[in-house]
Structure 1
Amino acid sequence: MIPRRIFLAAAPLAGCTAAATPSAPTAPTASATPPEAPMTSVASVPFDRFVDGVKTEARRRGISQATLAAAFSGVRPNQRVIELDRRQAEGGLQWEDYRDRIMVSPTRVQNGRRNYAENADLLRRIEQRFRVSPRVIVAIWGVETNFGGNTGGFKVVEALATLAWEGRRAAYFRTELFAALKILDDGHIRTERMMGSWAGAMGQPQFMPTNFERLAVDFDGDGRRDIWDSKADALASIANYFARNGWRDGEPWGLAVAPPPGFNAAGADTAMRPMRDFARMGFRTEAGRPLPDGPDAQVVLPNRGNGQVFLGHHNLRVIRRYNSPVNYGLAVGLLSDRVG
């Protein structure tokens, strides 16, 4: 008898995320000019005094005065950043709209195929080194920044300083702020080019600064890990993220399926089990064909969906370590199937 358990579709997996935003394609990238309205904050000290304290600690950490002067030149608290941070918990789109209008739209698929073909040699070399599917690399690149075309319009230092000062998640963003200052001090990017999302996610892969420290790669060999302007560094860094988070070379991520008659989504069993077990239970491909052989899988249900069902393998879990929402992981998987 197979046990039944409720599947919490939106529950994040354990592991690190590349970006602090819940869904990269909807992350705002508009220019961050502070409005004239009064700043509202839970911070207990004036922003200038907060920045002075950051500079003092940064100097103790070895950050040069020149870097600090450039990084904080003209930096002010940004009300738009605070507004966007507080708005995160609002509901999202239905799965089908999110899938078809945003993540796996015909335009994104077409652009994905073009970028996959244009960068075939680079992607082949990255795959040889990191043993990560080039299709999933291109899919992440596409959904995070539209293949490098939309990397964010916020000054990373200003955004992180605002969030570290504002107080709601001060410790987290203060750590990210010092990591960003070290990236500048090490010469990987110029201050004026360190742009990103309102939450400080940076460059073509949308890495947070601490993930840059651990996982960004200098693949073009110029001595800098430039995930903003070097396509080689950006795509190799995505591959390194996946490799370091357990990607299994040659294994699929999952597939959409037709469940057997009487399938109860509300009580779906989510245990990992062999594909042959699902075949015996009556699962078939969405097109009605027998299930392919493959690694162990589990039932995965989109959040806010209207009935689509998936079987997800280990590599779907790895995709969700990049950005945890289940709909994100499924959409990246579907896009990866269509770009290569």
Structure 2
Amino acid sequence: MRSTGTLRTNFFGVSLIALALLLPGAVRAQSSGNGLTNLIDSIFSKNATPPQAATGQGATGQDGAPPPWSGEDGASGHPLMTAAAIREAAGNFQNCVAGMWPDAARRNISRENFERFTAGLQPDLRIMDLLDSQPEFTKAIWDYLDILVSDARLAKGREILAKYKPQFDATEKAYGVDRYIIASIWGIESNYSTQVGDRSVVQSTATLACIGRRQAYFKDEFLSALEILNRGDLRPEQLRGSWAGAFGPTQFMPTAFKRYAVDGDGDGRRDVVDDPSDLIASTANNLKKDGWQTGARWGYEVVLPQNFNFMLADRAKAMPLSQWEHLGLKRANGQPFPQPAEKAYLLAPAGAEGPGFLMLQNFRVIMKYNPAEAYALAIGHFADRLRGGPPFVQPWPRQERVLSRAERLELQQLLAQRGFYKGTPDGQFGGQTREALRGFQASIGAPADGFATSEVLDRLRGR
């Protein structure tokens, strides 16, 4: 299920492009399979970063069709993303596809089916713009959660849980995975099958396998998509999804389908698109194989004490809940931790001004599904709400605004001038920027929470 996307690590905000499309499916492909699970790592600050981009359609023209390729160089600066390189690769597209036949044959794909499923295939060059987009504006984590964990989506989720109760019952018994988490993924990935994407997965993955900077990764996805069709699990008309190749209500990538898809109802096919039994069971199998702990929570909302050392808010610094309690952290609802020996790490997605969260093993499992903490937090919270839990107790600092890309670039440049930032300023915030910002905050006596605000930027400007 990890999908691939255009979105770069942005520690401080949720891309408005991803938000407008509500497409969690595309970032997972960026990060799965090829050791890229840190691509969207640590995406929080005063404001947080996105989930993925599942349908990835972007703006449309007056006729409703996706716009054509811009014809411009990609923003990444990669040599394979120049306009000239894209045109050259597009001109060789047919030869590239035909050249993958020996690899397809080694996967037991018949020559007849290879020819059938690739006949008339043309590249979708609009994907090149989506692969390399750099959104100028971002959206705050609280706005992101407001959109994804909405009353309407919760109501639909409860309908889904009731409608498919037998399937959820069977899946919980077989896999030990919480039905509310599965229903949450279904709701956030595709708004309960209403936003699954409409691009041909074969066309999208073939395009990316032959053109652009991710060819090696997408060659495997393309050949895996052909395997799915060759085996007969899905029909070509069912294999439609995001520009990145994620498909179905819970957004499987073709390689993830191969690893995790199961036949939930015993009909001989693994149909994660139109068969609820297969969809629910396959999603559960994914989580189970990634280490889901039956009966355990994903985490707890916590209240942080005054003058807390935010250097402890680090995924690598997991401690028993009892130790966190000793440091002054309390559950926001005032209840005790039921398993004090469980280890957790602290996430503070809005810094010193917002709620904190102690994240357990199951939160890490959700992040294997999609390596974005904003996404995993939305999934966990949505699941809690589906089972009847309340909203978060503590308020978000909604008065804060998100920095523009130009401001993020300026912040990095100013941190570099002061000797805090050693990287190359690019307007994209990751762990290195967070550490640099913490150093500056500590130097001026501010809480070293590593989250950017306009106030911090003004201090760097000397105002």
Q: TM-score range by the shorter chain?
A: 0.7 to 0.9
Residues 314, 347 of structure 2: 8 Å contact kept: no
1:142 equivalent among 166, 187, 198: 187
**In structure 1, how many angstroms separate the alpha carbons of the residues matched to 2:10 and 2:332?**
20
Query: Tell me, which stretches of 5 or more residues in structure 1 are unaligned?
Result: 1-7, 11-16
Q: CA deviation at 1:35?
A: 2.9
Distance 2:54 2:244 in 1: 9
Report deviation, 1:68: 2.0
Correspondence for 1:4: none
Given the alignment of the two structures, is residue 35 of structure 1 paired with residue 78 of structure 2, yes or no? no
Corresponding residue for residue 346 of structure 2: 299
Distance 1:66 1:303 in 2: 55
Q: Secondary structure at the match of 1:191?
A: coil
Displacement of 1:241 in angstroms is 0.4
- Could you tell me how far apart the structure 1 residues matched to 2:310 and 2:275 are? 44
- Which residue of structure 1 aligns with residue 380 of structure 2? 333
2:329 to 280, 283, 288: 283
- Aligned length in residues: 326
SS in 2 for 1:336: helix
Q: How far apart, in 2, do the equivalents of 1:56 and 1:324 lie?
A: 33
CA shift in 2, pair 1:290/1:193, >3 Å: closer
Which residue does 1:324 correspond to in 2? Answer: 371
Aligned to 1:152: 197
- Tell me the CA shift for residue 9 of structure 1: 10
Match of 1:311 in 2: 358
Distance verdict in 2 for CA 1:157–1:318, change over 3 Å: same
Higher relative contact order (CA 8 A, sep 6+): 1
Measured in 1, the distance between the counterparts of 2:378 and 2:186 equals 13
Task: Report the TM-score when normalising by structure 2.
Answer: 0.65
Q: Distance in 1 between matches of 2:84 and 2:66?
A: 17
- Structure 2 distance, partners of 1:207, 1:265, is 36
Cα distance, 1:164–1:303 mapped onto 2, change above 3 Å: farther
Tell me the SS of whatever aligns to 1:19.
helix
Match of 2:141 in 1: 95
In structure 1, what is the Cα distance between the partners aligned to 2:28 and 2:116?
25
CA distance in 1, matches of 2:237, 2:98: 21
C-alpha deviation, 1:224, in angstroms: 0.6
SS at match of 1:217: coil
Q: CA deviation at 1:42?
A: 2.7
Alignment partners' CA distance in 2, 1:37 and 1:83 = 7
Q: In structure 1, what is the Cα distance between the partners aligned to 2:217 and 2:309? A: 40
Deviation at 1:72, TM superposition (A): 1.8
1:70 aligns with 2:116: yes
SS at match of 1:206: coil
Contact 2:302 2:329 (C-alpha < 8 Å) held by counterparts: yes
Aligned residues: CA RMSD: 2.8
Range that drifts further, 36-45 or 185-194: 36-45
Task: For 2:214, give the aligned amino acid.
Answer: R
What amino acid maps onto 1:42 in structure 2? A
Q: TM-score, normalised by structure 1?
A: 0.87
Specify whether residues 167 and 305 from structure 1 end up closer, same or farther in structure 2 by C-alpha distance, changes over 3 A only.
Answer: farther
Contact 2:185/2:379 (CA < 8 Å) preserved in 1? yes
Percent of aligned positions that are identical: 36
Of 237, 247, 259 in structure 1, the residue corresponding to residue 292 of structure 2 is 247
In structure 2, what is the Cα distance between the partners aligned to 1:255 and 1:88? 33
**Larger Rg computed on CA atoms:** 2
